[in-house]
Amino acid sequence: MRVLGLDPGLRATGWGVIEAGAGRLRHLACGVVASPPDAPLARRLDALFEGLLTVIARYAPDQAAVEETVVNRNAASSLKLGQARGVVLLAAARAGLEVGEYASRTVKRAVTGTGSASKEQVAAMVRALLPGAVEAAADAMDALAVAICHAHVAQTRARLARANPPVPAGAA
């Protein structure tokens, strides 16, 4: 399974692509899609959208995973972040990808074992799990953490489905 992890942001949206399967994770690529800081909001959102479509076309992920928005004290900043997140979700949906959404604490717990881990702890674990991501930008590291979380959740769901197959209708 190829997973695209996304960490939405208006200035920079982090992305990371991993391969997950047979209990293994492999880093394929990661980076940041930036928007022009002095451009009007609509142009910035368009730059994020087009950049993400390019990433999706290049790496052909099977699924996507997005970190949920953390509401800040500054309402205007939260609103802009929400708009960027909407563009991220739209790009994944436009590409026909199934999208998993995860709270920050869930991502941290999946990667480090604790939901209160620092960004530095998360980055250190991402580097340990994905050695090819050593020099990635902070936003890309966050996106890779989201992809790892999604891979763990998807693999767990698959194991549970195999262990508990659905009972056919009429069989009792």
Cα-to-chain-centroid distance, residue 162: 26
CA distance 8 to 6: 6
Alpha-helical runs (H) found in the chain: 41-59, 75-94, 104-112, 119-129, 138-163
Q: Say if CB 146 and CB 107 are below 8 A apart.
A: yes
Residue of 62, 98, 139, 142 marked active site: 139
Give catalytic status of residue 67 as yes or no.
yes
Catalytic-residue membership of 46: no
Q: Which of 50, 62, 67, 135 is an active site residue?
A: 67
Task: Answer yes or no: are the C-beta atoms of 141 and 14 closer than 8 Å.
Answer: yes
Active site (catalytic) residues: 7, 67, 139
